[in-house]
A and B are shown apart, each in its own frame.
Chain A
Amino acid sequence: AQKVTQAQTEISVVEKEDVTLDCVYETRDTTYYLFWYKQPPSGELVFLIRRNSFDEQNEISGRYSWNFQKSTSSFNFTITASQVVDSAVYFCALSDIPPGSLDKLIFGTGTRLQVFP
């Protein structure tokens, strides 16, 4: 069964602090994909990154970085030198492809990040 757990409900930091958002997933499949989406206060959902289960290489995009560890079933997201514009709800998501079944995308409960000036 699929499951995504984001244990941190809300995180508050001061601008320029680094912050890590945790994501733990469960799947029985060997082929799966992990995602992060951002929902700013305006409400739209914005894609940030996708990672497949065969690529454990960490990724960095500007101030954003992602750490994928299959050994701990985690896909954590770090924002370096946070800014007020990073304030949003961040969702981790999982898509797996069980044999003989339809694939689907499910989300975690989200982490609300507040960055104060």
Chain B
Amino acid sequence: NAGVTQTPKFQVLKTGQSMTLQCAQDMNHEYMSWYRQDPGMGLRLIHYSVGAGITDQGEVPNGYNVSRSTTEDFPLRLLSAAPSQTSVYFCASSQTSYTEAFFGQGTRLTVV
């Protein structure tokens, strides 16, 4: 019973590089989301999805892209990494936005 699997756990990027953070869940949840956690800022919503093919922007979407082609997967793409994107990223899934959310272990991303 894997729950939410988020990879990688750690990543260092150079400014301007692109990368994809992977998120997969095996609970058949419709709702998936990405958050970033910065000191003093809490968890801020980047993008979210209420089902396959349906995504929307959260509070801080700039510089990130998502797609949801399957129920299980919700990758987050950094188009051109910037130092301001240095953060800890969490993927979450739940049946809906108003039921218990299950989180991945987080990805610590450093952009130099």
Contact = CB atoms under 8 A, between A and B. Distances in A.
A binds B: yes
Interface of A: 6, 9, 32-33, 35, 37, 43-45, 47, 50, 52, 91, 93, 95, 97, 102-110
B96 A103 contact: yes
B26 interface: no
Name the prevailing secondary structure of the B interface residues: strand
Contacts of A91: 42-43
A47 B101 contact: yes
A105 B105 contact: no
B105 to A, nearest CB: 6
B48 interface: yes
A110 B42 contact: yes
Given A95-B98, A97-B98, A102-B50, A107 B105 contact: no
Given A6-B42, A93-B43, A105-B97, 6 more contacts: A9-B40, A52-B98, A91-B42, A102-B50, A104-B56, A105-B101
Interface string B14-42: 00000000000000000101010000111
A50 B100 contact: yes
